[in-house]
Amino acid sequence: MILRYTRFEKIYSSREEAITKLNNTSRYYAENVAIRYKSGEKVCIMLALYQSTTKGDYTINYDSGGNSSGGGSIGSGAVKEVTRRNATETDLDALNRAYFGSTPGEGDMVIINTRGTDYKAIYFYHGSSWICLSGTDEIEGRSSTTLNLSVNTDKITGLTTIYGEVPIDNSSIVVDAVTKKLRVNIIDGGNLSDLI
């Protein structure tokens, strides 16, 4: 199971603006939200837990800017930034590299940059696992002899698209002897669990 926080897309110009947004927002009971704001040149993230559907009824559980008013920090709150070594390095590899094999603390955050783009994946450590606050999940396509799968992730929007191509090889796609039109013969995509 992947836990995702509701995220505000806008980066607010100050902590006060972000707090004003939270104060004027209603969410569901126990809904976690992430909101970003600028502190000088640094982009900070606050995590808030809404306690009811009443506007502004929330507790701040974490603030990477170090300000613990409104509920306090829930852990060490270390923020680390790492840049991918190459386009094929996974988020998990980058997270492990950021900690050099040591265990992160509750409430730690890692920002993963991708060279040449503005794309950032932001992870928050909670309950002995990393929670992705932005970016996308890692998806790998596995092809079979009759189906070629490829996965494309747009580094700017984070949108992931899975493409499937069936080769015309007189086995998978054949010309029907009666209608003289193309038809599917045999397509073996393997087990669904192997594809995801």
Least Cα distance to 169 among 144, 146, 142, 189 occurs for 146
Higher pLDDT, 78 or 74: 78
**pLDDT at site 65:** 79
Beta strands 109-113 and 42-50 are: unpaired
- Which of 132, 160, 180 is where one domain is finished? 132
**158 and 65, same structural domain?**
no
**162 and 127, same structural domain?**
no
- Would 167 be classed as within a structural domain? yes
- Which of 104, 132, 160 is where one domain is finished? 132
Residue 69, pLDDT > 50, answer: no
Task: Look over the chain and give the mean of its residue pLDDT values, rounded to a whole number.
Answer: 77
- In this structure, of 30-44, 107-121, 144-158, 171-185, the range with the lowest mean pLDDT score is 144-158
Q: Cβ distance 68 to 98 under 8 Å?
A: no
pLDDT tens digits, 123-136: 888 778 888 877 54
Order the strands of the 58-63 sheet from edge to edge.
6-12, 32-39, 42-50, 58-63
The DSSP code for 23 is: H
Q: Cβ distance 59 to 23 under 8 Å?
A: no
Joined tokens for residue 134:
């932005």
Joined tokens for residue 24:
């004027």
**pLDDT at site 36:** 93
**pLDDT at site 85:** 87
**pLDDT at site 81:** 87
**126 and 31, same structural domain?**
yes
**pLDDT at site 18:** 92
pLDDT, mean of residues 103-118: 81
Residue 14, pLDDT > 80, answer: yes
Joined tokens for residue 144:
């079979």
Q: What is the pTM of this model?
A: 0.38
pLDDT, mean of residues 86-105: 83
Containing domain of residue 169, as a range?
148-195
**179 and 107, same structural domain?**
no
Instruction: Name the domain count of the chain.
Output: 2
**47 and 115, same structural domain?**
yes
